[in-house]
Amino acid sequence: MKSWWKNPLPWLAALLGLYLLAPLAALIGELASASWTGPGMEATWRALGVSAAAATVSSLLIALGGVPLGYMLARGRARWLDWLGLLVQLPLALPPLASGILLLFLVGPYSLIGRLTGGILTDSFAGVVLAQTFVAAPFLIVAARSAFAAVDPAVEAVAATLGHRPWGRWRRFVLPLAWPGIRAGLLLAWVRAFGEFGATAVVAYHPYTLPVLTWVQFGSLGLPATIPLVLLALVAALAFLALIQLLPADRATTRATPRATGTADPFQPLLEIGAAAATAAVPQGDDHLLSFALHRQLNGFRLDLAHSAQHRHLALLGPSGAGKSVTLRLLAGIDQADDGFVHLGDDDWTSRPAELRSVGYVPQDYGLFEHLTVWENLTAGASAQPSLARYWLNRLGLAGLERRRPRELSGGQRQRVALGRALARAPQLLLLDEPLSALDAPVRRDLRLQLRELQRELRMATVIVTHDPTEAALLAEEVLVLDNGQLLQAGPVGEVFTHPRNARVAYLLGLRNVRRGRIAAPGTIQAGGVVLAAPAAARFSPGEVVNWWIRPERVIIRPPGDPMSLPTHVLDVYPAGDATELELAVGGGELRLTARLAAGAPGSDLAPGAPCGVTLPPEAIEVLDPPRITDPPGLCRFAALDGEECG
């Protein structure tokens, strides 16, 4: 048995719980001495009604302004909003009497507002409401702000690309997701308003609220006379708490979820219509291509990117912080560029908001509407077609999951729901932001192939953001390599991967064997103590420093002592799928390269430390642009030049 002092949490919780419940038990022991009849009971019931009614009106007023204010504080970026968020919480820190006095300065009989209204805002039901609203509003504002801050901003971005205008996005998606937190804030605000004494006594001593009457009875008749009032307050508060608990926490807008009955599929006509619509809705002309120029300043980051696509499927490739996701949001219309344009074929989208652009958008974390079912997510678009939704439900392997919520799905299923939701509107442009990065390798491989198949099927223009060169090569016909908001190179996938413009591009493409050397003579490179024939180096002058590379597949392994090869020894050997990779020290060991050999190829059975020979075909050596300060650090580590320090 564990010693109780090793985990103090349970008994600390029990102590506070006991302290909070003990006064209730003490009250029960005093019920026998309470007086439940007489003229005082009429005033008690009247005071209870005033408190409950005023608290309800106050809560409605607080909700009317507090929910939007909480949203503004959660989403706003302006510095003054931080100060506003601090100031609206002041009633929490002020003594209630001080709050009442502040209100008198505003609405008291001698204030400007008081004179204009004839003093009806004090010593009246309106005064009770004003006092309760002032002291209770911060409870809802703080709760609403936290609730809205917890809602993923991607939800609003996705809702915009689904065709919903700002009010519809907030009402249908953001508010339901924040509702549990808002509901808790409303509960606190009502209970706080119902029990308010200090501010109410200053602003509106009459009509009596239950707290004020309790104080009057206690001062004139003593403790026993207050028992009925305290008990009524407890019952009213408990009843309200119970009512709140019974209200539904999930305010989902339910749409009819399709049911299949019997052995035949009753939705086969919908599937046939959807299959036809999925193809017909996509522009089929080869001229329906994307072109854009985007310029955006974000704090210390600047994006300058322009491109006219020659193919339908583009990939934005680059490291984190390169500007890939920013570019995608600008293309979608979620954010607005400082300058530039976006054209899809002959359509000018530059000034269109996101809801008027025909885009399907899948953010990094998918942006699913957690309060909706799979079917409701698929049909959440303003112009979503049920036939298309049913088609994609089946096409993406989601049949049978219609009634599940996103939290009940696996990562791959969530990704397919997000993709199906985007496609159910038959968009002209599909934007995918790192859609597979969070998935396990087998799931990622399967979904890559599925996306590639969908691209062939739809011939829809697509832009995929990725930092994975393999993904870019598989899912794109054209690749744009970005770094620090700038376009380093763009072109067909085969061209960019085969002929990277410089070492930075090669590094971002994940290319191996990028090394540094010096031109020894026209058409030759000296690197790591060896001289290599490289016709591609003929355009450089002797003595000039260059970056060069060779594919691991083009490194040829020969027997040791082969007169046509460079003496080499093996540093390491490791499997690479259906191939074997060898880490090699060439020549005197200063030049290190990787060779990739097919299973069973000569040299694939070598062990670490074994000698061998290496041949580097001259035509296989690519020479890149001269070195620059943006080259990857440590590029020369395995091919150092005389007098050069490597990072």
pLDDT tens by residue, 558-598: 999 899 899 999 999 998 878 999 999 998 888 999 999 99
In the predicted structure, residue 54 carries a pLDDT above the cut 60: yes
What pLDDT score does 37 carry? 61
In the predicted structure, residue 254 carries a pLDDT above the cut 50: no
In the predicted structure, residue 533 carries a pLDDT above the cut 50: yes
What pLDDT score does 137 carry? 96
pLDDT in tens, 341-366: 999 999 999 999 999 999 999 998 89
What pLDDT score does 646 carry? 40
% of the chain exceeding 90 in pLDDT = 55
In the predicted structure, residue 440 carries a pLDDT above the cut 90: no
Q: Which of 217-226, 443-452, 562-571 has the highest mean pLDDT?
A: 562-571
Residues 277 and 228 in one domain: no
Last residue in a domain, options 470, 497, 524: 497
Residues 141 and 60 in one domain: yes
Q: Report the run of H or E that residue 326 belongs to, with start and end.
A: helix 324-332
Q: Please tell me the distance from the alpha carbon of residue 240 to that of residue 238, in angstroms, as a whole number.
A: 5
Residues 238 and 277 in one domain: no
Confidence tier at 455 by pLDDT (50, 70, 90): confident
Contact of 182 with 144, CB cutoff 8 Å: yes
In the predicted structure, residue 638 carries a pLDDT above the cut 80: no
In the predicted structure, residue 606 carries a pLDDT above the cut 50: yes
Return the higher-pLDDT residue of 124 and 457.
Answer: 124
What pLDDT score does 264 carry? 39
Pick from 275-284, 414-423, 508-517, 588-597: least confident: 275-284
Residues 438 and 519 in one domain: no
Tally of domains within the chain: 3
Residue 262 in any domain: the answer is no
Whole-prediction pTM value? 0.80
Residues 349 and 490 in one domain: yes
User: Between the CA atoms of 628, 633, 639 and 644, what dihedral angle is there, to the nearest 10 degrees?
Assistant: 70
Residues 566 and 619 in one domain: yes
Residues 6+ apart with CB under 8 A from 265: 271
Residue 170 in any domain: the answer is yes
Residue 263 in any domain: the answer is no
Residues 41 and 158 in one domain: yes
Residue 632 in any domain: the answer is no
For position 36, which CATH number holds? 1.10.3720.10
Confidence tier at 24 by pLDDT (50, 70, 90): confident
Residue 124 in any domain: the answer is yes
Q: Which amino acid, 334?
A: I
Q: What is the mean pLDDT of the chain?
A: 86
Helix (H, G, I), strand (E, B) or coil at 304: strand
Contact of 346 with 285, CB cutoff 8 Å: no
Residue 308 in any domain: the answer is yes
Residues 122 and 241 in one domain: yes
In the predicted structure, residue 4 carries a pLDDT above the cut 90: no
Confidence tier at 43 by pLDDT (50, 70, 90): confident
Residues 36 and 136 in one domain: yes
% of the chain exceeding 70 in pLDDT = 87
Q: Please tell me the distance from the alpha carbon of residue 354 to that of residue 377, in angstroms, as a whole number.
A: 18
Residues 272 and 314 in one domain: yes
Residue 15 in any domain: the answer is no
Closest CA to 390 of 486, 236, 256, 248: 256
Residues 223 and 334 in one domain: no
What pLDDT score does 284 carry? 46
Q: Please tell me the distance from the alpha carbon of residue 184 to that of residue 186, in angstroms, as a whole number.
A: 5
pLDDT in tens, 484-506: 999 999 999 999 998 898 888 98
For position 619, which CATH number holds? 2.40.50.140
What pLDDT score does 229 carry? 82
Q: Which two tokens stand for residue 309?
A: 């696509």
Q: Mean pLDDT, to the nearest integer, of 292-310? A: 93
Confidence tier at 72 by pLDDT (50, 70, 90): very high
Q: Mean pLDDT, to the nearest integer, of 210-230? A: 84
In the predicted structure, residue 410 carries a pLDDT above the cut 50: yes
Distances (CA, A) of 586 to 100, 186, 558: 85, 73, 12
- Supply the range of the domain harboring residue 523: 513-623
For position 428, which CATH number holds? 3.40.50.300
DSSP string for residues in 277-303: HHHHTS---TT--EEEEEEEEETTEEE
Residues 121 and 181 in one domain: yes
In the predicted structure, residue 283 carries a pLDDT above the cut 50: no
342-360 in b/e form (b: 16+ CB < 10 A) is bebeeeebeeeebbebbbb
In the predicted structure, residue 94 carries a pLDDT above the cut 50: yes
